[in-house]
């Protein structure tokens, strides 16, 4: 959408666009009015299309001698129900309008309307928060991925947006929002990368590159390392592919003495570079799009990017990516195989398409045994069932620890990445018992499949360890082309995890 996006702290005299906000049914606020020197914006609000609906755009044109070429009046919706979160979508609408008019220098002053409306009374709304949400929205809208387009691509000239605001807190917020969107966009590009390019080795290389770029420790366990460490889920699921499985461990270590002493937060990501279903092959087009079965891991990588470049918490954060390709060949693991895990638990494979939980089990065992975590959060495109249940509106999540639940839910509200908790109960764990081994990886009755996944995973987390499992199969991709979203990967989880870590740095 844009060639580049940046924030400038200097307010330049003349700009291509001045962005002002107004609420449904309200006139222009007094401060915005002062910027509307010729009164063209106020006049435009009398037009019938000026509905005030959130994200609706009305344009006004000052005379040729004015320092402002164009005014974009953005509807903020109903005053009484306004939330900071709405600003992401609103920023998307502003961004679409800016892109269409090929704007360059843009002065964003929607904070004036918002500040007066809400900062003046009851609810407190920080300008930095609104600026961040606005920056996130613009940055998310700005994601472009043309790496896989060829000679038939029509080259379009995109504008270089430079944003400024008279409110330095709003401005700083925008800078931060753009940075968080950049981390998210890194995840989205990885998600978009096709499986013949984004192989297991490629994903490991991306982790190494990220580590070099932002300063993280990195270890890649592969081949004999996996055997030595008894990471049997990865070994088995990855057996059929020429692209060999691996586990990536990244670690963020804070600068300054003593800061690294606290228990780390551990983030785990399912990173299936392709999921054919294995010998329990996916049918009826169920395979298309399974390049995105790596999106849990991609989100964890994006979160580590944000943590190292934006959040910089005063505690360690460890990321574990279980990377494999679920393919078919004569070497494939099969239904009826039994796998023994490093914690001694044995699993009878009943369905090779329930592979995510098998590779996540390795990472969860590893985390509990080796990392001494404060808590663990895993992200995985685990089940089609969660898509049926919650669609693309909420991720399904499981967490039996009340304190961690509060943290995850607060991060969800802050980031706008919605989670809905699903239940856990001993009877679900009962459903995962095997007549042959300890557990089956899938109960053939297919009941409550997202919960089956979580119940299975719980056998690999030590009792009392705070742990949240987030099933992102419904939210990692969107067909929407509205607000700050374009059709494609969403990078879901990057901002939630960044916000989680930020709120919990122990500062
Ligand atoms: N990667 C899939 C889940 C998935 C489905 C993600 C649709 C995104 C969109 C997962 O590995 C899978 O195949 N799950 C099976 C589990 C079943 C065999 C127990 C499912 O949900 O059908
Ligand atoms: Mn599968
Ligand atoms: Zn899968």
Q: Which helix (H) or strand (E) holds 439?
A: strand 439-440
Residue 445 clears pLDDT 60, i.e. is over it: yes
* E-strand stretches of 281-367: 317-326, 338-340, 346-348
Share of the chain above pLDDT 70, in %: 97
Instruction: With cut-offs at 50, 70 and 90, classify the pLDDT of residue 98.
Output: very high
pLDDT digits (tens, 9 = 90+) for 277-332: 999 999 999 999 999 999 999 999 999 999 999 999 999 999 999 999 999 999 99
Residue 231 near residue 255 (C-beta atoms within 8 A): no
Task: Please write the tens of the pLDDT for every residue from 225-264.
Answer: 999 999 999 999 999 999 999 999 999 999 987 777 899 9
Q: Which of 428, 459, 449, 227 is nearest to 351 (CA)?
A: 449
Q: How many CB atoms lie within 10 A of CB 419?
A: 25
Please tell me which residue in 294, 357, 407, 418 is annotated as part of the active site. Answer: 357
**Confidence check: pLDDT of 222 > 70:** yes
Given the residues 208, 230, 282, 312, the one annotated as active site: 282
Give residue-wise pLDDT tens across range 162-198: 999 999 999 999 999 999 999 999 999 999 999 999 9
pLDDT on residue 116:
59
The three-class DSSP label of residue 229 is coil
Give the separation between CA 453 and CA 448, rounded to whole angstroms.
9
Task: Tell me how far the alpha carbon of residue 323 lies from the centroid of ligand 2, in angstroms.
Answer: 14
How far, in Å, is the centroid of ligand 1 from the Cα of 338?
Answer: 20
pLDDT tens for each residue of 121-157: 445 578 999 999 999 999 999 999 999 999 999 998 9
Average pLDDT over every residue of 461-477: 98
Ligand 1 atom nearest residue 442's Cα: 19
The whole-number pLDDT of residue 505 equals 81
Residue of 187, 301, 329, 366 lying closest to 244 (CA atoms): 329
Among 381, 384, 386, 432, say which to mutate for ligand 1: greatest number of ligand atoms within 8 Å of CB.
Answer: 384
Å from CA of 404 to ligand 2 middle: 28
Among all ligands shown, which has an atom nearest to the Cα of 446?
Answer: 1
In this prediction, residue 12 has a pLDDT band, given cuts at 50, 70 and 90, of: confident
Tell me what the mean pLDDT of segment 264-272 comes to.
99
Query: Look-up: residue for tokens 């979580």?
Result: 454
pLDDT at 97 exceeding the cut of 80? yes
| Pairwise CA distance, residues 156 & 6, whole Å | 20
Protein residues with CB under 6 Å of any ligand 1 atom? 275, 293, 351, 353-356, 381-385, 387, 442, 449, 473
The residue whose CA is least distant from atom 7 of ligand 1 is 384
Kindly report the protein residue whose alpha carbon is nearest to atom 16 of ligand 1. 354
Q: What does the longest C-alpha to C-alpha distance in the chain come to? A: 83
Is the Cβ–Cβ distance between 496 and 415 less than 8 Å? Answer: yes
Active site residue 464: no
- For the segment 224-236, what is each residue's pLDDT rounded down to a tens digit? 999 999 999 999 9
Which residue lies with its CA nearest to atom 3 of ligand 1? 383
The pLDDT of residue 507: 46
pLDDT band at 117 (very low <50, low <70, confident <90, very high): low
Whole-number Å distance, alpha carbon 315 to ligand 1 midpoint, is 34
495 catalytically annotated: no
71, 172, 208, 318, 379 from 254: Cα distances, Å: 44, 23, 19, 12, 23
CA-CA distances (angstroms) from residue 424 to 202, 378, 455? 36, 16, 7
Residue 270 contacts residue 293 (beta carbons within 8 Å): yes
């Amino acid at each position: 959408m844009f060639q580049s996006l940046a924030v400038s702290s200097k307010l330049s005299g003349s700009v291509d666009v001045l962005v002002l906000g107004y609420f449904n049914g309200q006139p222009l606020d007094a401060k915005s009015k002062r910027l509307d020197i010729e009164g063209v914006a106020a006049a435009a609000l009398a037009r019938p299309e000026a509905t005030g609906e959130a994200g609706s755009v009305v344009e006004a044109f000052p005379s040729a001698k004015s320092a402002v070429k164009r005014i974009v009046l953005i509807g903020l919706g109903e005053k009484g129900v306004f939330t900071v979160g709405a600003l992401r979508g609103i920023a998307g609408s502003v961004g679409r309008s800016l892109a269409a008019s090929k704007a360059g220098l843009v002065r964003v002053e929607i904070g004036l309307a918002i500040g007066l409306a809400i900062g003046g009374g009851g609810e407190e709304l920080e300008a930095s928060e609104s600026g961040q949400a606005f920056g996130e929205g613009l940055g998310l809208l700005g994601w472009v991925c043309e790496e896989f387009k060829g000679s038939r691509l029509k080259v379009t000239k995109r504008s270089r947006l430079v944003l400024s605001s008279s409110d330095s807190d709003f401005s700083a917020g925008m800078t931060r929002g753009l940075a968080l969107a950049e981390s998210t966009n890194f995840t989205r590009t990885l998600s978009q990368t096709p499986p013949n390019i984004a192989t297991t080795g490629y994903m490991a290389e991306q982790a190494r590159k990220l580590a070099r770029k932002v300063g993280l420790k990195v270890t890649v366990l592969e081949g004999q390392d996996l055997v030595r460490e008894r990471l049997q889920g990865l070994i088995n699921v990855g057996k059929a592919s020429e692209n060999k499985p691996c586990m990536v461990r990244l670690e963020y270590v804070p600068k300054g003495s003593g800061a690294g002493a606290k228990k780390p937060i551990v983030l785990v990501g399912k990173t299936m570079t392709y999921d054919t279903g294995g010998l329990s092959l996916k049918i009826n087009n169920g395979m298309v799009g399974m390049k995105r079965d790596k999106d849990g891991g991609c989100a964890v990588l994006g979160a580590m990017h944000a943590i190292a470049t934006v959040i910089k918490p005063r505690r360690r954060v460890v990321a574990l990516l279980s990377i494999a390709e679920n393919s078919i060949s004569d070497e494939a693991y099969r239904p009826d195989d039994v796998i023994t895990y490093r914690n001694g638990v044995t699993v009878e494979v009943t369905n090779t398409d329930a592979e995510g939980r098998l590779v996540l089990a390795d990472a969860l065992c590893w985390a509990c045994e080796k990392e001494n975590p404060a808590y663990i959060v895993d992200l995985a495109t685990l089940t089609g069932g969660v898509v049926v249940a919650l669609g693309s509106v909420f991720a399904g999540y499981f967490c039996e620890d009340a304190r961690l639940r509060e943290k995850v839910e607060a991060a969800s509200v802050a980031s706008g990445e919605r989670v809905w908790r699903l239940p856990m109960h001993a009877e679900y764990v009962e459903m995962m018992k095997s007549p042959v081994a300890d557990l089956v990886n899938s109960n053939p009755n297919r009941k409550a499949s997202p919960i089956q996944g979580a119940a299975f995973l719980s056998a690999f987390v030590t009792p009392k360890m705070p742990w949240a499992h987030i099933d992102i199969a419904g939210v990692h991709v969107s067909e929407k082309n509205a607000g700050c979203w374009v059709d494609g990967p969403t990078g879901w989880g990057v901002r939630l995890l960044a916000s989680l870590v930020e709120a919990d740095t122990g500062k």
